[in-house]
A = this chain, B = another copy of it.
Amino acid sequence: MKDVNLGIVGLGNVGSGTLTILAENGDEIARKLGFRLNVTAVCSRSVKTKTLPAGLKPRLVTPDWREVVASPDVDVVAELIGGTGTAREVVEAALAAGKSVVTANKELVALEGVALWRQAEANGVTLAMEASVCGGIPIHSVLREGIAGDRIETLFGILNGTSNYILTEIEDHGSDFNAVLAEAQKLGYAEADPTADVDGFDARSKLALLTSLAFGVQLAPADIPTEGIRRISPTDFQYASQLDCTIKLLCSARRVDGGLFVSVRPALLSKRAIMAGVKGAYNAVWSRGTFGADTFYYGRGAGPNPTGVAVVSDLMRVARSLRPEPAHRVPPFAFTSLTESKPLEIGLQKRPWYLRFRITDQPGIIRDLSSILAEHSISIDAVLQLPDLDKHNLPFVITLENSPESAVRLAVEKMGRLPFMVEPPLALPMEKGV
């Protein structure tokens, strides 16, 4: 079976993440596709100083992108340089050569996306751009296909991780904007020139793109009213909190009779909104459709590996379109075949635990329970008792450190037989979640 050959142009953050995933996740990717993705060519200006991940042996390693685009060994080109100079030449040359292109380039796509798409169409190839907005969130795929049947009415986004990080720090630590920005710059979370992030311009380009996918319109980013976060102070978070709100740099696009209201600016957002829980450098998109109502998508906004996942998922999609099998062979279960399997014995799993008891109060209870736990080599984390008057049906709780479920089950069964138990203990695992 013929594999599909990839040319990767640009080995910065996203390029490195992409190669890492192609190298380390190659087997699982092949199990999904039914064929392999081979990295046959790599281009980087400083190609001699780059170390490629183990297992990747491209035949062509060059500082000249033209060689990659022209190579008969390359079926698909990934443009991971960024910017609108060389990157644009690479994309145009690849499309002209009849090769599909995957790009992570928000600037280029915001500026020239429609023209490049038309060029791709004219050449019978694909332009794929999932990685250009919200690196870790497959929001293009969702809007383009996942909920394609719906009609979007409102789209909200937290689309700039740096400004969301800064707002979260102001909220959590009561520090001033300037102090938080300086700290973020020191830690490398914000650029030396932070304008694009904190004044909303980065978010604005991304919103323009998402507005196209959600509503089928093409907006000039400069037409979107945009306001940054420089004036947001700890005082504002205090007042917002009084109103049961937080403050987010909110990208919004709202369909009304006659058109769209579109803006990027800080806004108060109800703390009860699930979007209010988006902290730190995360991104999120919330959409309301006429039919599907509310859906919400959350993940890393950037980073080599999360953005690399978007690039690789696009490469898989494009690679499928180059194969002779009909495209509807995207397997409904995601993999070309499933392994019949049994879950591992759950008793082996270690979790922290919550044990809730209902007892008839009497001396020696903690002694009896803790002896049983000790017998099973289980460590107590804490004992909690809220005020309660019913001494004949008194609830209290013991939390356990990370312990194997089998030991906990045995101990709980034994504890359930103690004479002061009103009912069998309730044992629930404790999860931190994301």
Contacts and interface: CB of A to CB of B under 8 A. Distances in A.
Nearest to A216: B335
Contacts of A127: 332
Interface string A208-226: 0000111011111001110
Interface stretch (A43-51, A52-60, A343-351, A369-377): A343-351
Contacts of A160: none
A330 to B, nearest CB: 6
Please state the number of chain copies in the assembly: 2
A399 B17 CA distance: 46
A111 interface: no
Contact of A318 (B142, B236, B260, B328): B328
A299 B294 contact: yes
A434 B339 contact: no
Contacts of A422: none
A291 B313 contact: no
Interface string A114-156: 1001001100111111100000111011111111111100001
A100 to B, nearest CB: 7
8 contacts: A156-B431, A239-B356, A242-B384, A261-B348, A262-B344, A263-B349, A268-B429, A274-B274
B292 A300 contact: yes
B309 A299 contact: no
Contacts of A272: 433
Contacts of A327: 320-321, 326-328
A32 B143 CA distance: 11
Contact of A262 (B138, B267, B343, B430): B343
A397 interface: yes
A276 to B, nearest CB: 7
Contacts of A142: 138, 141-142, 146
A130 to B, nearest CB: 8
A136 B146 CA distance: 10
A326 B268 CA distance: 45
A76 B426 CA distance: 50
Interface stretch (A5-13, A190-198, A249-257): A249-257
A86 interface: no
A416 interface: no
Interface in A347-404: 348-349, 354, 356, 384, 386, 395, 397, 399
B291 A309 contact: yes
A384 B305 CA distance: 45
Given A217-B339, A278-B274, A293 B306 contact: yes
A297 B151 CA distance: 19
A309 B292 contact: yes
A273 interface: yes
Q: A-side binding surface: helix, strand, loop or mixed?
A: mixed
Interface stretch (A66-74, A176-184, A282-290): A282-290
A433 B129 contact: no
Interface string A231-274: 11001101110110101001010101011111101111110111
Interface stretch (A21-29, A87-95, A162-170): A21-29
Contacts of A141: 141-142, 145-146
Interface in A308-335: 308-313, 315-318, 320-321, 326-335
Given A146-B138, A343-B261, A242 B386 contact: yes
Given A235-B356, A346-B261, A330 B269 contact: no
A103 to B, nearest CB: 10
Given A142-B142, A356-B236, A113 B332 contact: yes
Most chain-B Cβ atoms within 10 A of its Cβ — which of A145, A329, A332?
A332
B309 A214 contact: no
A173 interface: no
Interface string A420-434: 000000101111111
Contacts of A326: 124, 321, 327
A2 interface: no
Given A292-B299, A296-B296, 12 more contacts: A125-B328, A137-B295, A138-B145, A148-B316, A156-B431, A216-B335, A268-B429, A273-B432, A291-B309, A292-B310, A296-B299, A320-B327
